[in-house]
Structure 1
Amino acid sequence: MNIGLTGGIATGKSTVSRMLTSRGALLIDADILAREVMEPGHPVLAAVVERFGKQMLLPDGTLSRKKLGEHVFAHPGERQALNEITHPAIRTEIRRRMAEYEERYPDRLVVADIPLLFESGQQSMYEQIMVVYVPREIQLARLISRDGLDAVQAESRLASQMDIERKKELADIVIDNSRGIAETERQVDAFWTSRGLS
């Protein structure tokens, strides 16, 4: 069985993915794959430098994530250009790892943690979609606190993603992460048991 795990920025996807892996799930983390394709020597990084310029690199030849992030968040069209370079490579690697895990471990749950799952139209790749949810005002407060952003910056980050309420509507499974860690654990346990996972 596989699921796509998503949510919004600062809703707690990493917390829920850790809970699932601690119960035996196999995790494919799109954020880790996104970092891997941006390592020196990878053709995706070369394409990013060609599109956005060498000023996006640090002196040692690695990507300046901060500089690129600031650039694409300030220019929505540029974010789309970046996604068109990176998403196909990440999606291909997710598919490859899912197939490998499902062949080698047919009795284990495979979880693909993909922040922009809905935004990138990947729903059909998964048997079910789990959304980690918190109300938007909690999401905003957590983002400001976690990343040290001001309200305008945080709102800009939230605006770059599909609204969390819409993601909740589209989900097969919702984990409400706004009521404390014990309650989140209880919901993950209920999901795990209901699917006959052990």
Structure 2
Amino acid sequence: MKLIGVTGGVGAGKSQVLGYIRDTYKARILLADEAANDLKKPGMPCYEPVIATLGRQILQEDGTINNKKMAEAIFASSEKLAQINAIIHPAVRTYIMEQIRLERESGVNDFFFLEAALLIEEHYDEVVDELWYVYANEQVRCKRLKDSRGYSDEKTASIISRQQPDAVFRSKCDFVLDNSGDFENTKQQIDEKLGVYLCKEQTASSIS
């Protein structure tokens, strides 16, 4: 099983890319943000520590954590943000490593794709076989954010300016997937890349 990390800036189209891979290949897709949300649910490892750190005012009536209230609480205090990161990031990493282990044992899938906003910062390059950078030029990203999320030009520019520059992604990643144009072209890039892996696996299997 090939383990591939996927990263890229907001609006680059990572979800679209992973959706195509999920529908086309025998692949497990794991999104770190979804894992983090699951781990904050009642009864899960991060639920009580997060409440102990931020207080019960972040809870909804049904006892679940209100993500908007949580965000307001942590971004108002750099200390709280650091404390929450220290709770959630290790728990997410533990969960991810366990899922990778289970997938390897099952032998069902050819690929395991891990998508995380902080893939590089959290050193997942030490875990995966290779890193993919989903790229789209800034003009395309801005248009996508305005069309899909209704963001203003100012908000879009602010979000993009706070992210890692293109050069950093390119220097850290093994493969650049250009998703600036027609998605048919993107699919062709994916098929060529994953096709090479599948051919190598088939060759290795026939030899053994």
Decide: shared fold, TM above 0.5. Answer: yes
1:14-25 matches, within 5 Å, as 14-22=15-23, 23-25=25-27
Letter in 1 for 2:7: T
Q: 1:62–1:159: structure 2 CA closer, same or farther, 3 Å change rule?
A: farther
Q: What letter is aligned with 1:146?
A: S
Amino acid at match of 2:165: D
Structure 1 partner of 2:159: 157
Q: Distance in 1 between matches of 2:108 and 2:183?
A: 30
State the Cα distance separating 1:120 from its structure 2 match. 1.7
Asked if 2 retains the 8 angstrom alpha-carbon contact of 1:40 and 1:62, the reply is yes
Structure 1 residue 92, shift from structure 2 partner: 0.5
Count of aligned pairs: 198
Q: RMSD across aligned C-alpha pairs, in angstroms?
A: 2.3
Contact kept, 8 Å, 1:135 with 1:165, in 2: the verdict is no
CA shift for structure 1 position 78: 4.2
- Please tell me whether the aligned partners of residues 119 and 162 of structure 1 are also in contact (alpha carbons under 8 angstroms): no
The gaps in structure 1 that reach 5 residues or longer are none
Deviations 1:124-181 (A, max 9, x none): 0011001111123432332343333334443443355323442133110111111121
Structure 1 residue 102 and structure 2 residue 104: aligned?
Answer: yes
- Using the size of structure 1 for normalisation, the TM-score is 0.87
Which amino acid letter does the alignment assign opposite residue 21 of structure 2?
L
**Aligned pair in 2 of structure 1 residues 72, 47: CA closer, same or farther (>3 Å)?**
same
Give the aligned partner of residue 54 of structure 1.
Answer: 56
- Using structure 2 for the length normalisation, give the TM-score: 0.83
Structure with larger Rg: 2
What is the DSSP-based 3-state SS (H/G/I as helix, E as strand, rest coil) of the residue aligned with 2:82? Answer: helix
Structure-2 separation of matches of 1:160 and 1:58: 30
* CA 1:13–1:109: 2 relative to 1, 3 Å: same
The aligned runs of 1:33-48 (5 Å cut-off) are 33-48=35-50
- Superposed, 1:176-195 pairs within 5 Å as 176-195=178-197
CA distance in 2, matches of 1:56, 1:189: 44
Aligned to 2:206: none
Q: Distance in 2 between matches of 1:190 and 1:97?
A: 27
Cα distance per residue 1:53-92 (max 9 Å; x no partner): 2222112111111222344456555443322211101110
Percent identity between matched residues is 28
